[in-house]
Amino acid sequence: MQRTLAATLVGTFAATLLAAAPALAQTSPVGLWKTIDDDGKTEKSLVRISESNGVLVGSIEKIFDPKHLDSKCDLCKDDRKDKPVTGLQIIRGVKQDADDKALWSGGEILDPNNGKTYRTRLKPIEGGKKLEMRGYVGFFYRTQVWVRVE
């Protein structure tokens, strides 16, 4: 009887952990995101955010505007200069905030339209269905809300 009860408890605990894992993963910025312009309506691109050793990076996988499909980052000032925007790494060095586990910060985001980099903060919202992406220069910031694709 005790062995059966113990097996049932272990099985229930394991099932609970497995069921919770996708929910926990969704509160991370890791995944594929549809970027929405500042107007809140215009879909711009798909950006894949991945994690390696606790550090997030994000690259443009697809551009929606056919006029910009062959664009290059001609205004970039670093190793991304003159590289195609499709495939370009625009998010670098972002880590989970030590004080607030709901935030990822400390890195930078590149705007390939002007070649400028900004300090960034990523915050999954609405249970991970959306991502609040904020770029900073000094005390000034710009926020976009991206939508999770996968």
Q: Which of 48, 43, 45 is nearest to 31 (CA)?
A: 48
Handedness of CA 73, 119, 128, 14 (dihedral sign): positive
Residues sharing a CB contact under 8 Å with residue 87, sequence separation 6 or more, in sequence order: 59, 60, 61
Report pTM: 0.81
Which CATH architecture group holds 29-148? Beta Barrel (2.40)
The residue ranges of every structural domain in the chain are 29-148
Residues 63-106: tens digit of each pLDDT: 999 999 999 999 999 999 999 999 999 999 999 999 999 999 99
* pLDDT recorded at residue 13: 42
Instruction: Please give the pLDDT value at position 122.
Output: 97
16-33 pLDDT, tens digit each = 434 444 444 458 999 999
CB atoms within 10 A of CB 52: 7
